[in-house]
Amino acid sequence: MSQEALENLLHENRVFPPTAEFAAQANATGAMYDEAAQDRLGFWAEQARYLSWATDFTEVLDWSDAPFAKWFADGRLNVAYNCVDRHVDNGFGNQVAIRFEGEPGDRRDITYAELKDEVCKAANALTELGVTAGDRVAIYMPMIPEAIVAMLACARIGAAHSVVFAGFSAEALRSRIDDAQAVLVITADGQNRRGSAMALKPAVDEAVAETPSVRNVLVVRRTGSDVAWNADRDIWWHEFVEQQSTEHEPEAFDAEHPLFILYTSGTTGKPKGILHTSGGYLTQAAFTHRNVFDLKPDEDVYWCTADIGWVTGHSYIVYGPLANRVTQVVYEGTPDTPNKDRWWDIIERHKVTLFYTAPTAIRTFMKWGDELPKSHDLSSLRLLGSVGEPINPEAWMWYREVIGGDNCPIVDTWWQTETGAIMISPLPGVTGCKPGSAMGALPGIGMAVVDDHATPVGNGGGGYLVLTEPWPSMLRGIWGDPERFKETYWSRFPGMYFAGDGAKLDDDGAIWLLGRVDDVMNVSGHRISTTEVESALVSHEAVAEAAVVGAADETTGQGIVAFVILRGGLPEETAKGEQLVQDLRNHVAHEIGPIAKPRQIMVVPELPKTRSGKIMRRLLRDVAEHRDMGDVTTLADPTVMNLIATGLETSSGED
Ligand code: WT7
């Protein structure tokens, strides 16, 4: 972010206080902050009691083996029972849980009673396939109800799911299956994207050819496309799951029983398997969903546009909302199919009241013009949420005025795959909102902005965002790598969790997130590590060396810009050079997934390195963002930057 933009931000003086009308009916209260400040553990114990425990807990937090936390450790519960059965037991079996809308226009309402039957059948199917508590199951699925059923079925039998975003490549899927040693993969023949059927099963076939831990592949028929079939391994969901009994006794598991692993990018090439467990995770996911989104289960229609492949889909489509007995929209496809007003059409038809999406989407809609949302009745909306990256004040104001009709609180929610649930956000009805600010830590959360010496900076200061107290939905580790867990999050500032984000506090103490301070990029709200993309590039035969940076991008937050040194130099013919650059971009998309496709590839003769050989990404970012290069005296060869600046004009690969 430029200095000027930052200064504007910090002098943001528009504040939207809660309206009296919203405050009068809000779930959250100002007293929550005081209660949690006086007795943090008592506050979380109270929130945990919103769940149904098979065995009550006596201890709230065990931090004796820090940073490995245990929350509610002697309590036992079944997460799927909490998300489904208990609502049926309480007389809400006929309430619609999921209002599914497929991209081609097919619709399906699923009540809690029906969801219970589906989850029980799937749980019986998994058991028949030999999946037992403690096993791992990989899920590689489109946004269809079966994906949610699959996750809940795993939770019900105590198997940890590892959902892999269906946009990831076969190789990304393979490495994740392998790391977790998954015994089963649940997938679909394909998914509907932008009006056509996109295959999924071939990527699974390619991945499991090299993962001996996988015994079976369970396949939902979604698009009806032809698929290759391995009769010893592959099973159709509609044949095998559908014939199962709807009776299944939910077994209670320890609060610290693993619920899921979700892989996320760090600063090295190898994604980290973030481990979440049951009782604490569900407590905070449900608490935040109830209070940050002000959910009224009898009245609201909630819609979170995330994909279950990301943590937002886990915490704010599956676990938090269902634990709170939500009625929610689930949409399979892209926002521009069949037309660019698909989302507004969905909001109007389903009378969505609570809407949660990402800044990238909001900025895209701004570009598409006000007419599209304005041609729909969006007056059902009463609260808007944002997640995934900093939201710029212009986008925030547009969201408020054009989508929210000037009438909805906006909750800008900061959190991470690792935090499991929202940590920083306004509480609607209690906290005022400033356009672009996530405002402050939620009740029960310890947060600070510190300098290099771990000293809090105070209002008006900037530094690193840290979490100062353990929280219920915190990650319990990195799958198979406890040392990396300590090193990554707990070593920079002893006793504090370092989030990897920079932040500033304004004069009122409101927080402004400034993006990552490490080698992690944020593209459309998705984390991609620079090293991951570099590894993908150098795996191409033509590439000798690569350096990747995230450059500011108007729509996606950051765009991926790669600098590559070619083994044989650039081909003489321009057309061949351009073709090679396209090939490299496609190669990265193939290795990792289309979200990692570089926006631009620059072929360069050299890369700027420090004397110790570390690539100076800051300089490359300056080039990528067309800024002056500033001080280059720490470079091993300061003339390199001139070489780069002159060499790069030829080789942009932008679409
Ligand atoms: C990173 C976490 C949390 C679900 C989606 C992303 C950035 C997230 C915000 C926000 C500014 C945000 C941070 C964070 N981020 N929300 N409201 N304002 N930045 O999950 O892939 O684990 O990424 O996303 O940089 O560290 P994730």
List, for residues 582-641, the tens digit of each pLDDT value: 999 999 999 999 999 999 998 888 888 877 777 888 889 888 887 665 555 555 666 777
Q: Which of 22, 17, 6 has the alpha carbon at shortest distance from 434?
A: 17
Distance 66 CA to ligand 1 centre (A): 24
Distance 4 CA to ligand 1 centre (A): 23
CATH fold for the domain made of 1-38+432-517: Luciferase; domain 3 (2.30.38)
The whole-number average pLDDT for the span 12-35 is: 95
Q: What is the pLDDT of residue 592?
A: 93
Tell me if the domain spanning 521-651 has CATH number 3.30.300.30. Answer: yes
Q: Which residues line ligand 1 at a C-beta cut-off of 6 Å?
A: 264, 310-312, 387-390, 412-417, 438, 499-501, 513, 516, 522, 525, 527
Q: Work out whether strand 497-505 and strand 462-467 pair parallel, antiparallel, or are unpaired.
A: antiparallel
List, for residues 108-144, the tens digit of each pLDDT value: 999 999 999 999 999 999 999 999 999 999 999 999 9
Q: Where in the chain is the domain with CATH 3.30.300.30?
A: 521-651
User: What's the pLDDT band for 653 if we cut at 50, 70, 90?
Assistant: very low
User: What is the residue with the minimal CA distance to atom 27 of ligand 1?
Assistant: 416
The ligand 1 atom at the shortest distance from the C-alpha of residue 425 is 17
User: What is the residue with the minimal CA distance to atom 8 of ligand 1?
Assistant: 388
pLDDT at 488 over 90: yes
C-alpha to C-alpha distance for 369 and 348, rounded to whole angstroms:
18
Around Cβ 264, how many Cβ atoms within 10 Å?
20
Cis peptide before 338 (omega within 30 of 0): yes
Q: What is the pLDDT of residue 650?
A: 41
C-alpha to C-alpha distance for 299 and 612, rounded to whole angstroms:
61
Q: Which residues pair with 393 in a beta bridge?
A: none
Q: Which of 59-68, 226-235, 436-445, 644-653 has the lowest mean pLDDT?
A: 644-653
Distance 402 CA to ligand 1 centre (A): 24
User: What is the residue with the minimal CA distance to atom 20 of ligand 1?
Assistant: 416
Q: Which of 239-243, 486-490, 630-634 has the lowest mean pLDDT?
A: 630-634
Q: Which of 542, 547, 614 has the alpha carbon at shortest distance from 580?
A: 542
pLDDT at 497 over 50: yes
The ligand 1 atom at the shortest distance from the C-alpha of residue 415 is 3
State residue 114 phi and psi, 5-degree precision: -70, -40
Q: Where in the chain is the domain with CATH 2.30.38.10?
A: 1-38+432-517
Tokens read off for 285? 């996911």
Distance 525 CA to ligand 1 centre (A): 7
Distance 49 CA to ligand 1 centre (A): 28
pLDDT at 9 over 70: no
User: What is the residue with the minimal CA distance to atom 3 of ligand 1?
Assistant: 416
Distance 511 CA to ligand 1 centre (A): 14
Q: What is the pLDDT of residue 334?
A: 96
Distance 515 CA to ligand 1 centre (A): 8
The ligand 1 atom at the shortest distance from the C-alpha of residue 312 is 4
The ligand 1 atom at the shortest distance from the C-alpha of residue 527 is 21
Distance 419 CA to ligand 1 centre (A): 10
Distance 414 CA to ligand 1 centre (A): 6
Dump strand ranges (E) for 468-525.
477-478, 497-505, 511-516, 520-523
Distance 604 CA to ligand 1 centre (A): 32
Q: Work out whether strand 383-387 and strand 410-413 pair parallel, antiparallel, or are unpaired.
A: parallel
User: What is the residue with the minimal CA distance to atom 1 of ligand 1?
Assistant: 416
Q: What is the pLDDT of residue 655?
A: 38
Q: Which residue among 6, 416, 514, 528 has the greatest number of ligand 1 atoms within 8 angstroms of its CB, and so is best to mutate?
A: 416
DSSP 347-375: HHHHT--EEEE-HHHHHHHHHH-THHHHT
- The residue type found at 433 is C
Distance 388 CA to ligand 1 centre (A): 4
Side-chain-side CA neighbours of 232 within 13 Å: the count stands at 3
Distances (CA, A) of 401 to 349, 356, 406, 407: 20, 16, 4, 8
Contact 402, 381 (CB under 8 A): no
Q: What is the pLDDT of residue 651?
A: 42
Q: Which residue among 467, 513, 519, 532 has the greatest number of ligand 1 atoms within 8 angstroms of its CB, and so is best to mutate?
A: 513
List, for residues 273-316, the tens digit of each pLDDT value: 999 999 999 999 999 999 999 999 999 999 999 999 999 999 99
**170-180 and 201-208 are packed helices; what angle lies between their axes, rounded to 10 degrees?**
50
Q: Where do runs of H (alpha helix) occur along 2-96?
A: 3-10, 20-25, 31-38, 40-48, 79-80, 86-87
Distance 441 CA to ligand 1 centre (A): 14
Distance 100 CA to ligand 1 centre (A): 27
User: What's the pLDDT band for 654 if we cut at 50, 70, 90?
Assistant: very low
C-alpha to C-alpha distance for 427 and 291, rounded to whole angstroms:
7
The ligand 1 atom at the shortest distance from the C-alpha of residue 391 is 18
Q: What is the pLDDT of residue 619?
A: 86
pLDDT at 445 over 50: yes
Q: What is the pLDDT of residue 630?
A: 59
The ligand 1 atom at the shortest distance from the C-alpha of residue 500 is 26
C-alpha to C-alpha distance for 564 and 557, rounded to whole angstroms:
23
List, for residues 538-552, the tens digit of each pLDDT value: 999 999 899 999 999
**How much is the pTM?**
0.92
Q: Which of 280-284, 344-348, 471-475, 651-655 has the lowest mean pLDDT?
A: 651-655
Q: Where do runs of H (alpha helix) occur along 515-573?
A: 530-538
pLDDT at 417 over 70: yes
Q: What is the pLDDT of residue 570?
A: 81
Q: Which has the higher per-residue pLDDT, 10 or 40? A: 40
Q: Which residue among 475, 527, 532, 558 has the greatest number of ligand 1 atoms within 8 angstroms of its CB, and so is best to mutate?
A: 527
Cα angle: 18, vertex 23, 29; to 5 degrees: 105
User: What's the pLDDT band for 649 if we cut at 50, 70, 90?
Assistant: very low
List, for residues 262-273, the tens digit of each pLDDT value: 999 887 778 999
User: What is the residue with the minimal CA distance to atom 2 of ligand 1?
Assistant: 416
SS (H, E, C) 264-332: ECCCCCCCEEEEEECHHHHHHHHHHHHHHCCCCCCCCCEEECCCCCCHHHHHHHHHHHHHCCCCEEEEC
DSSP 616: -
Distance 51 CA to ligand 1 centre (A): 27
Q: Which residue among 414, 464, 512 has the greatest number of ligand 1 atoms within 8 angstroms of its CB, and so is best to mutate?
A: 414
Distance 142 CA to ligand 1 centre (A): 22
List, for residues 33-82, the tens digit of each pLDDT value: 999 999 999 999 999 999 999 999 999 999 999 999 999 999 999 999 99
Which residues, 6 or more positions from 407, have their beta carbon under 8 angstroms from its beta carbon? 381, 382
The whole-number average pLDDT for the span 330-342 is: 97
User: What is the residue with the minimal CA distance to atom 17 of ligand 1?
Assistant: 414
